[in-house]
Amino acid sequence: MKNLSLLFIGCVCILNAEAFELVRGGRAAAEIALPAEPVSSVKFAAKELQKHLKLITGTELPFTVENASRRLPNRIHLGYGAAPESKKPFAWRVKAGERDLYLHGNDVEISRGNLADPERTFVGWYVASQGTLMAVYDFLDRELGVRWFRPTDRGIYAPKRETLRIGTIDRQGEPKLDKANFSQAGVSSGKLWNDRKIGERFSLDCRLWQLRHRMVDRYWFHSGHAFSTYWNRFGKAHPEFFARLHDGTRRPLAGDRDGRYITMCVSSPGLLKNIVAEYRRGYGPQGKHKAENFISVCENDTPGMCTCDGCRAWDMPEFDPRGSAYWEKKLVLDRFNRFSGFGVDEGGSYSYAKTSLSDRYARFWLEVYKELKKINPNITIMGYAYLNTVLPPRHVKLNPHILVSYVGTPFFPLTEAKMAKSRAEWDGWMKTGCTMEFRPNTTWSGGVYPLQYGERLGAEYRRILQDSRTRRVHFDSLRGEFANQGLMWYILARLTYRSDLTVKEICDEYFNCFGNAGAALRVYFDYWRGISDAVTEKEVKAWEQELGYNFMVWNNTDMCVRIFRPEHFAEGAKLLDKAAKAAVTPEEKEAVAFFRLGLEHARLTWIAGEAHLKRVLHGTPANQADFEKKRAVLLEFRKAHERSGISNMGVTTSKETSGYRSSRPRKK
């Protein structure tokens, strides 16, 4: 087999340059045949294939069934006839001869009770094998040059031609990654929008966009924070499961009413026995998801805190509490300030190497593995490299059955120094012998603004994808800012399937999608990248000190108010004017209008954000009133343009509101 990309592996044989004809001179030369009783994803794959071929040629190929007589000389066999050799989930095959094209993969049905609504059914297809759909997308990508630069059908680039022929092909593939996913707000998040149905549509469009980029989950299990329900379930009966704080208590932090952020006593024999007992019943620590061959024992969303003798005995000999507010000064902060006592950046690197707990947690993962492999020799244990476990352990070696989810990729600005530190951490974990998941929080940076760091992040992502021990990718999160950060999302999605391409080649693809306006839009994005690249860590620290509180992960609007200025938005508008003049086709003009609407959204967000900072720094009634007025203008704009697809309006507004509540105006 020849390695075609990091996500999909397969083999290609091209025997002659011209074999199978789909459309000739604007008239159909082939028909699309389906099995007599196709699964829902094959029906959807047929519609996707027909739609894209019509976008390319202007011709709609007819449907038929596999046992019907031919009405046209050539036939596309969809979902049958040339099964892939691999029986693994999502494996597929593309095979073309002179009269027949086979697009076939391993398919399963996921929701027989909901087949009347395939657009809702496909929400779950990324976690159940839909190989034929993958074959269709691979064919459209590699043979026909189709690109999906943003969600919805308006985000499809389909090179036009009246005659469509392809050479003889026999290519097979299957996902190399076990998981590739952008975490996104689900259909239920529609309630965050003014119009719930629009929010639901946006969520579905984003999920389909990920499917088109072949971002799927071959082996689903409940990953992530594993013990967030433990306090409610076991707190009274088994307090020994939980971290002992410096005051000797085992309890949630102040402000954590349901114990979601409590950390565990990982050396507790009782905790280990409970994990094993729940696994025997078929469940992971959350108590509601089947574990099968995978189980997450990832710590809750808080730095490790247990001070008991058992946990301390698992720490590295070099452990040195000096300089740590928690370990030396024994400062136990509340839920809202739980990170600052450790000097950690949520989602980024850990600055205090001498209080790293990675050796402790690595030993915990190995203890869990030792017990569970007695039940299931194929078990894989997942743990987080996050917060004060982000550094690799110094004295513990792991094995491929330990899956480490690395959350240390830094937030903006992605300076070379920060990226070098992150690379060293990732490589250090690799040297322990474990397998890895790439799990950055980085993409929360920028909010709705045209903050451009996608090329830097993409270069690191591509490097990570080159290692065969990278088993999973999970970005948190897909912000949905396709107007102002669409280039970044395209880079990341495209690399996931085509890591053989360079970041530059992918950028070229993106701007090529806009035809005559592409060159001017490249200048537009380069303008914002120049502003973004000029931001230094020193400036960010100064802004934090000025404001008197750390910027929230989920809302760095405050930082962006300092980065961007009114004159930047004015210059951006001029650059879009040039792109508008260059645009010729309706599609090119629509694309420029899309970016222009995104720019206006960012400008209005900046105006409201600046007013917010004024009321924080100088909490006068006049500043409060000014903020409320400008915020109202912004919200009205969002309500008026919810259907535009420029932004996940519901999530953006929700996160901003949460950030505004946490940064109360200073009293005079």
Who wins on pLDDT, 199 or 157? 157
Place of tokens 């950028």: 507
Amino acid (one-letter) located at 325: A
Domain map of the chain by residue range? 8-175, 230-439, 515-662
How many C-beta atoms surround the C-beta of residue 114 within 10 A?
A: 13
Contact by Cβ (8 Å): 309, 224: no
Mean pLDDT of 102-129: 74
For position 176, what pLDDT does the model report?
A: 87
Q: d(Cα 405, Cα 375) in Å, to the nearest integer?
A: 24
How many CB atoms are located within 10 Å of the residue 527 CB? 17
| pLDDT tens digits, one per residue of 607-650 | 999 999 898 888 899 999 999 999 999 999 999 999 999 999 98
Residue 4 has pLDDT above 80, yes or no: no
Q: State what percent of residues in the chain have pLDDT above 70.
A: 90
| Nearest alpha-carbon partner for 277 in 262, 291, 264 | 291
Please enumerate, as own/partner, the contacts of 250-254 that have beta carbons within 8 Å and a separation of 24 or more. Answer: 252/335, 253/302, 253/332, 253/333, 253/334, 253/335, 253/338, 254/334, 254/335
Q: Residue 187: its pLDDT value, please?
A: 59
Over the chain, what is the mean pLDDT?
A: 90
Does pLDDT of 54 surpass 60? yes
pLDDT at position 651 is: 84
Q: Return the higher-pLDDT residue of 124 and 498.
A: 498
Quickly tell me which residue has 């322990």 as its tokens.
432
Cβ neighbourhood burial of 269 (10 Å; 0-12, 13-18, 19+): exposed
* 167 alpha carbon, distance to own chain's centre: 35
Superfamily of domain 8-175: Chitobiase/beta-hexosaminidase domain 2-like (3.30.379.10)
pLDDT tens-digit readout, 344-378: 765 566 778 899 999 999 999 999 999 999 999 99
pLDDT tens per residue, range 208-255: 999 999 999 998 888 889 999 999 999 999 999 999 999 999 999 999
pLDDT at 196: 87
